Structure 1
Amino acid sequence: MERNTKNLKNLDEHREIEYGYNKEVLETFEAEYNPGYLINVDCSEFTSICPVSKRAEFGNIKIAYIPNKLCLELSSLKLYLASFRNVRIFYEDIVNVILNDLIELLNPKYIEVMAISNLSEGISVRPYANHGMENTEYEDLAFEKLKKHGIS
């Protein structure tokens, strides 16, 4: 089965990774099937700069969402996440920036974002944020998942 991708830019031909926050690189495609499915994305090579120590921090970004009408194009997500490479930002802020950008872009039924840092000195942080479409069962799901999210 061939998917219609004519509206997507050919990222390999004319885009280079930009090292400075840039949400404009994010692209979507239409969800062709009944959007009642969950999409999990694990980005294991995330890098940003600690605003205090000014040292590079490495970690994972995990995104899960139930599409409404649009899906996230993964090559553009790679460019977007790479754009944080030289940005001074706390992991606690990263999850909220990513969550808000993806809500604006996708208008998903449900979405959650978790960052898992690989900080030095033996300390790790795992901030988590989620959102459910207002006035739907997904809003309730977001509240319930946030209540249950804990140490694991």
Structure 2
Amino acid sequence: MVTELYTAIHLALRSDPEFLALMGLDPAAPVMQGKRIQKKSRPSNLAEENLPLTTFYAIPQGGANRHNHLVYDAIFMFDVYTSDDVALAHDISKRIVQLFHGQINPFQDVENFETRIVAQHESVSDLADSYCFSTVLHFTITLES
């Protein structure tokens, strides 16, 4: 269900060479990837030396589909934090959209339908001299019967 979707999204991000390059991450450095690609709404170690940083998390607006009890609508927020580099935040967000929007991703242990973008906007960052850009994606997944 949604917990497996967290794992699948994380794996997709950590496996994409273009996303990793934009993030300034080496594919062979899983510890650093874990620090800068986080599955939570409030990032750990939000500090200048840890940027850029991407977090993603399910927001409460998702839930069981009203028309089909075997379908779950998972709404995920992706926040991209940079050192006040608006263009880089937008490029990273663009890559996230390219990876998921309009796709039926072959996630392991998750049967899903097409994912679509819901919104994008600037968000407030708790770190001085930083920039945060958010992308909201709607994942539709199948529940086990």
Q: TM-score, normalised by structure 2?
A: 0.30
Larger radius of gyration: 1
